[in-house]
Amino acid sequence: MTSARTMDHVFTPSADPNWVISEAGYDCLLEISRGVRFAISNGFLGVRGARAIHRGGRWVATSRTLVAGLFDTADEEEAIPGLVATPDWLQIHILLDGEPPVHRPGDGKSQRRILDMHRGAVITERRLSNASDVGVLIRSLHLACLNQHATALQLIQLENTRGEGEVQIALNASFEGLDIGLLPDRMEQGFGLWHVLGSGKRLAMAAELSLRVDGQKVSPMISGPFKWAWSWKSKPGQVACLERLVTVARGDTDDADPGSDARDALAAAQRLGWSGVVAAHEAAWASRWDCSAVEVEGDPAAQQALRFALYHLNGAANPDDERVSIAARALTGDDYHGHVFWDTEIYLLPFYILTWPEAARALLMYRFNTLDGARAKAAGLGWRGALYAWESADTGAETCPSRALGPDRKVIDVNCGLQEQHISADVAYAVWQYWQATCDEVFLRDAGAEILLETARFWSSRAQPEADGQCHIRGVIGPDEYHESIDDNAFTNVMARWNIRRALDVAALLLARWPERWESLSSRLGLGNAELEQWRSVAETIATGLDPGTGLFEQFAGFFTLEDIDLANYAGRSVPLDVVLGRERTQASQVVKQADVVALLALLPDEFPRDSGEKNFDYYAPRCGHGSSLSRAMHGLVAARLGDTDAALDFFREVSAIDLDDSQAAVEGGVHIAGLGGIWLMAVFGFAGLSLHSDYLAVDPRLPATWRSLSFGVQWRSRSLKIRIGRTTGSLEATLETGEPMKFVICGEPFTLSRAEKLSVRMKSNDT
Ligand code: IFM
C-alpha cells in the first residue's frame, strides 16, 4: 500500500538552486509566457506549463499539449498545415465543501511554479481555502517521460491544512480549443481515438487515474470517457495523493494502430508504477545532462542561461522518430504552426551532432524522408535536384504562407517560400557535419549521400552561366530577409559552392569505398560523369561577391550602393528597424535584418581569406538590426572567435534574455529554440573555439573576463570526451572517457588524447 507521504520527495526540487527556475504568484497577463518558459517536452509530447488547478472555469486558456508530427490543414482559403491542439490532460477542478475555493490574503503569493531543469519536471505549490475555512495545500508535479516518449505523468498531493469538510475534485481532459478538426472515432473510459480531418492522421490517448486518501484507494465517480471525480471527507493533516498517467500515440498511415500503441504504453507505465516512471525519466535526464552539460564558473547568469537552453534542447528532440523535426518554437507554442526552418540544421544540429548523435541522425533522416517533397519543389520551379521547403511540416511540401502580418500589423507578401533557397545548402551542411563528427557510414551511404547529391544538383541547375563567364544565382532571399529578389547573395552562393564540392567528395567516396552503392544510386538518380563535370564547372565559376582587394564579401550584387544608415542613431528603439524606417527604405538600405555574411563567416570561416573575417565582421555587424532572434548568436560566436570577448558576452546575454526575460516580447508563441541552440553554439564554438576537421577536433579558447572556467562534453566518432578550460589558470584539461585515442589540437598545437591519461595543457594564448 502506498503510504500517504510517499510522494513527498518528488515535490522537492533539485537541491542546487541553479538547476531550477522558480516563479511565485500568479499574473494572468504573464500566464502564457510563463507557461512557455515552463513547458515540458520529450520531443514527442510538448506540454505548456500553464496553471492546471482551477476553482471553476478557466479565465485564461493557456494550456496546450502538442504532439510532434500531428499536422492538419485548417479549412480556410490558402490554409497551411499546422500542429493540431490535443486534449489538455492536465486540468483539475476543485471544490471545498461544495464551494469554489476563495483567495485569502497571501494565497496568491503562496503559488509557486518551479521548473526543475535537472529532472525535466514542473513542480507547483498552491494554498486554497473556502469561505467556511477549509484549507488545503496542493502540490503537483508533471513530466513528459524522456525515456518513453508516449508517456506523461501528473502527481498531485492535497494536504488538509485547516478545517473539516468535503473535498471534491474533478479531472477532465479539456477539449477546449480543439477547433482544427480533431474528430473522435472512439471514446471509452480512459481512452480516446481521434482523426484529423485533412491529413487523416490519428491520435490516441489512454489514461489511468487513481487517488489514495491517507493511503487508502478511493473509487472515482466516472461521468464520461475522460471525466473522473472524487469526493471525500477531509480533516486536518489528511493527505490525498493522486496520480494520472497519460499515454499518447500518433498514427500516420492506415496500417498504424495508435490505439494499441497508446494502450501498450499505458500498460507498460502501469507495470512500472508512478515511482518507476519517475525514476526512469530522471535517469534519462541524468544521462542527457551527463552528455550535454556546459558548466561556467564565475558567471551564474550565463550558467542559468546555458542550463535553460540545454533543458529545452534536450527536450526538443526525439531519436526514435525519423518523421519529425524540430519546429521554430519546438513543442512549446503555436507561432509558425510547428513548421521546421533552417533553424534546425544550422542552430540546433551542431548541439545534437556533438552531444546526442542518435537524435541528430533522426533529424537528418526527417530531411531524407522529405527528399521527395524537395525534389517536387525544385521540379515545380523548373530546376533539377532537391530544393527543400523553406517551411516544412510533415511531407516536405512548401508550407510557407504567401502573406503574413508584418511587424507593423499590416498584411505583407511573404516571398521566402519561393526565394529563400539557402535552406538546401543548410541541410547539406548539417549532413556533412554529422558525417564528419560520427563517421556513420550507414547513414552516409543510405541517406546522407543522396541528400548531398540532390541538393548539389539543384544548385548546379539553379546557378546559370552568363556572358561574364560566371554562374549567377538570381532572385533569392538570403538570411537577411529585409532584401528580396536579390542576385548573388554571398551566403547562398558560397554555401551552394560548398554544397556542390562536398557532393563531389561524396561521389568520389562512394565510388572508391562502396562502388556497388555508387552504381545503384547514380543510376537511379541518372547521374553521370558529364553532369559531375558540369557541377565542377559551376563550383569553379559561381559569383561570390568577394572583392580580393578588400577581402569584403558584398552581401549581394549592388548592396554597397544602397543607402548606408548609421544604426547608432536608432539605439534604444523598442521596435524592429523595418518598422522604424518603413519597409521600402529598409529595402533600399544596407540595414541587415540578421547575420548574413556574418553567418557565412560563422559556418565557413575558411572561405574568408587571411584577416578578411574580421574586416567583414567589422563592416556588417554595425549594419545589423537583429530583427530576428537568430541573429545575435551568430554575431556572438564570430566575435568570440575573433577575440572580442566583451562584445561576444554582450551578444550571449542578449540572446539569453530573449526567452528568459522575454526581451523581444515574443515568448508567448513559444521558446526561440534556435536562439537557445545559439547559446550553446556561442559557448562551445565561440568561447571554447571548437572546430571540426577531417581527422581531428580542435579548440582555441577565448573566455570572457568574468568566466573562471568553461567545461563541456562532446561526442566525436564513437568517443566521448570532456573538456575543461580554466581561464584564470590558463590551462586546458581534456579527458577521453570512451573510445580510441584521437588527435586533439589545442591552440594550433597537436596532441594525442587517450584514455590512459588526462591531457593537461598550459595554453600559450593570453586571451584565454
Ligand atoms: O528561420 C527564421 C528566419 O531566419 C527568420 N525568421 C524566423 C524564422 C524561424 O525562426
Instruction: State pLDDT tens for residues 453-509.
Output: 999 999 999 999 999 999 999 999 999 999 999 999 999 999 999 999 999 999 999
Parallel, antiparallel, or unpaired: how do β-strands 151-162 and 239-251 relate?
Answer: antiparallel
- Pocket probe for ligand 1: among 341, 392, 426, 489, the residue whose CB has the most ligand atoms within 8 Å is 341
What is the grid cell recorded at 459? 544548385
| Residue 91's pLDDT band (cuts 50, 70, 90) | confident
Q: How far is the CA of 657 from the centre of ligand 1 (A)?
A: 18
What whole-number distance in Å separates Cα of residue 307 and Cα of residue 301?
A: 10
DSSP secondary structure string for all residues of 197-245: TTT--EEEEEEEEEEEETTEEEPPEEEETTEEEEEEEE-TT-EEEEEEE
Tracing cell 510563463 back to the chain, one arrives at 34
Q: What is the DSSP letter of 444?
A: I
Does 358 reside within a domain? Answer: no
pLDDT of residue 106: 67
In Å, how far from its chain's centre is CA 561? 37
With a 6 A CB cut-off, is 261 part of the ligand 1 pocket?
no
Domain end (from 274, 290, 306): 290
Does 618 reside within a domain? Answer: no
In Å, how far from its chain's centre is CA 112? 26
Q: What is the DSSP letter of 407?
A: T
Instruction: Locate the ligand 1 atom nearest the alpha carbon of residue 593 and give its number.
Output: 5
Q: Which of 763, 762, 716 is nearest to 353 (CA)?
A: 716
With a 6 A CB cut-off, is 499 part of the ligand 1 pocket?
no
What whole-number distance in Å separates Cα of residue 568 and Cα of residue 390?
A: 32
What whole-number distance in Å separates Cα of residue 163 and Cα of residue 156?
A: 20
CB 125 within 8 A of CB 138: yes
- Pocket probe for ligand 1: among 349, 481, 495, the residue whose CB has the most ligand atoms within 8 Å is 481
Instruction: Locate the ligand 1 atom nearest the alpha carbon of residue 339 and give its number.
Output: 9
Q: What is the DSSP letter of 757?
A: B
Q: How far is the CA of 627 from the centre of ligand 1 (A)?
A: 10
The single-letter code of the amino acid at 525 is L
With a 6 A CB cut-off, is 353 part of the ligand 1 pocket?
no
CA distances from 210 to 97, 136, 220 (A): 21, 19, 8
Residue 615 has pLDDT above 50, yes or no: yes
With a 6 A CB cut-off, is 673 part of the ligand 1 pocket?
no
Instruction: Enumerate the known binding-site residues for substrate.
Output: 342-343, 593-594
Does 21 reside within a domain? Answer: yes
| Burial environment of residue 493 by CB neighbours within 10 A (0 to 12, 13 to 18, 19 or more) | buried
Instruction: Locate the ligand 1 atom nearest the alpha carbon of residue 416 and give its number.
Output: 3
Task: Mark out the alpha helices in 642-726 (DSSP H runs).
Answer: 645-660, 673-681
CB atoms within 10 A of CB 494: 24
The verdict on whether 481 is a catalytic residue reads yes
Query: What is the pLDDT of the chain when averaged over all its residues?
Result: 93
> What CATH number is given to the structural domain containing 704?
2.60.420.10
Residue 57 has pLDDT above 60, yes or no: no
Helix, strand, coil percentages (3-state) for the chain, rounded to 5, are: 35, 25, 35
Residue-range definition of the domain harbouring residue 17: 4-290
What whole-number distance in Å separates Cα of residue 693 and Cα of residue 717?
A: 12
Instruction: Locate the ligand 1 atom nearest the alpha carbon of residue 674 and give its number.
Output: 10
pLDDT of residue 50: 76
pLDDT of residue 31: 83
* Total residues found in the chain within this entry: 768
Q: How far is the CA of 562 from the centre of ligand 1 (A)?
A: 24
With a 6 A CB cut-off, is 328 part of the ligand 1 pocket?
yes
CB 364 within 8 A of CB 434: yes
Q: How many domains does the chain have?
A: 2
pLDDT of residue 101: 84
Does 107 reside within a domain? Answer: yes
CB atoms within 10 A of CB 129: 18
CB 77 within 8 A of CB 172: no
* Residue 438 φ then ψ, to 5°: -115, -25
Does 310 reside within a domain? Answer: no
Does 144 reside within a domain? Answer: yes
What whole-number distance in Å separates Cα of residue 518 and Cα of residue 444?
A: 12
Q: How far is the CA of 675 from the centre of ligand 1 (A)?
A: 10
pLDDT of residue 223: 80
Domain end (from 257, 290, 323): 290
Domain end (from 233, 265, 290): 290
Tracing cell 476553482 back to the chain, one arrives at 55
Q: What is the DSSP letter of 684?
A: I
With a 6 A CB cut-off, is 343 part of the ligand 1 pocket?
yes
What is the grid cell recorded at 113? 511554479
* Residue 510 φ then ψ, to 5°: -60, -45
Q: Which of 279, 365, 362 is nearest to 317 (CA)?
A: 362
Instruction: Locate the ligand 1 atom nearest the alpha carbon of residue 343 and give its number.
Output: 1
Q: Which of 515, 497, 524, 376 is nearest to 429 (CA)?
A: 497
pLDDT of residue 664: 85
pLDDT digits (tens, 9 = 90+) for 565-611: 999 999 988 889 999 999 999 999 999 999 999 999 999 999 999 88
Task: Mark out the alpha helices in 527-623 (DSSP H runs).
Answer: 529-541, 577-581, 583-587, 597-603, 612-620
pLDDT digits (tens, 9 = 90+) for 182-205: 889 999 999 999 999 888 899 999
Q: How far is the CA of 479 from the centre of ligand 1 (A)?
A: 8
| Burial environment of residue 606 by CB neighbours within 10 A (0 to 12, 13 to 18, 19 or more) | exposed
CA-nearest residue for atom 7, ligand 1, is 628
pLDDT digits (tens, 9 = 90+) for 647-690: 999 999 999 999 999 998 888 899 999 999 999 999 999 999 99
With a 6 A CB cut-off, is 599 part of the ligand 1 pocket?
no
CA-nearest residue for atom 5, ligand 1, is 628
Does 520 reside within a domain? Answer: no
| Residue 73's pLDDT band (cuts 50, 70, 90) | confident
Catalytic residue among 481, 531, 554, 607: 481
Instruction: Locate the ligand 1 atom nearest the alpha carbon of residue 479 and give its number.
Output: 4
| Residue 3's pLDDT band (cuts 50, 70, 90) | very low
Instruction: Locate the ligand 1 atom nearest the alpha carbon of residue 628 and give its number.
Output: 5
CA-nearest residue for atom 10, ligand 1, is 328
CA-nearest residue for atom 6, ligand 1, is 628
With a 6 A CB cut-off, is 597 part of the ligand 1 pocket?
no
CA-nearest residue for atom 4, ligand 1, is 479
Helices 449-462 and 529-541 pack at an angle, to 10 degrees, of 60
What whole-number distance in Å separates Cα of residue 235 and Cα of residue 232?
A: 10
With a 6 A CB cut-off, is 674 part of the ligand 1 pocket?
yes
With a 6 A CB cut-off, is 482 part of the ligand 1 pocket?
no
> What CATH number is given to the structural domain containing 206?
2.70.98.40
Sheet arrangement for strand 294-297 = 294-297, 709-716, 719-726, 731-738, 759-762
Q: How far is the CA of 404 from the centre of ligand 1 (A)?
A: 14
The percent of residues above 70 in pLDDT, for the chain, comes to: 95
CA-nearest residue for atom 9, ligand 1, is 328
CB atoms within 10 A of CB 521: 18
Tracing cell 564554438 back to the chain, one arrives at 685
Q: How far is the CA of 594 from the centre of ligand 1 (A)?
A: 9
Instruction: Locate the ligand 1 atom nearest the alpha carbon of residue 341 and give its number.
Output: 1
With a 6 A CB cut-off, is 354 part of the ligand 1 pocket?
no
Q: How far is the CA of 151 from the centre of ligand 1 (A)?
A: 31
CB 162 within 8 A of CB 234: no
With a 6 A CB cut-off, is 628 part of the ligand 1 pocket?
yes
| Residue 359's pLDDT band (cuts 50, 70, 90) | very high
Q: How far is the CA of 343 from the centre of ligand 1 (A)?
A: 7
Does 98 reside within a domain? Answer: yes
CB atoms within 10 A of CB 410: 9
With a 6 A CB cut-off, is 26 part of the ligand 1 pocket?
no
What is the grid cell recorded at 121? 519536471
With a 6 A CB cut-off, is 630 part of the ligand 1 pocket?
yes
With a 6 A CB cut-off, is 32 part of the ligand 1 pocket?
no
pLDDT of residue 1: 37
pLDDT digits (tens, 9 = 90+) for 6-38: 688 899 999 888 899 999 988 878 888 888 999
What is the grid cell recorded at 446? 543510405
pLDDT of residue 109: 73
Q: How far is the CA of 492 from the centre of ligand 1 (A)?
A: 16
- Pocket probe for ligand 1: among 325, 390, 630, the residue whose CB has the most ligand atoms within 8 Å is 630
Parallel, antiparallel, or unpaired: how do β-strands 121-129 and 135-144 relate?
Answer: antiparallel
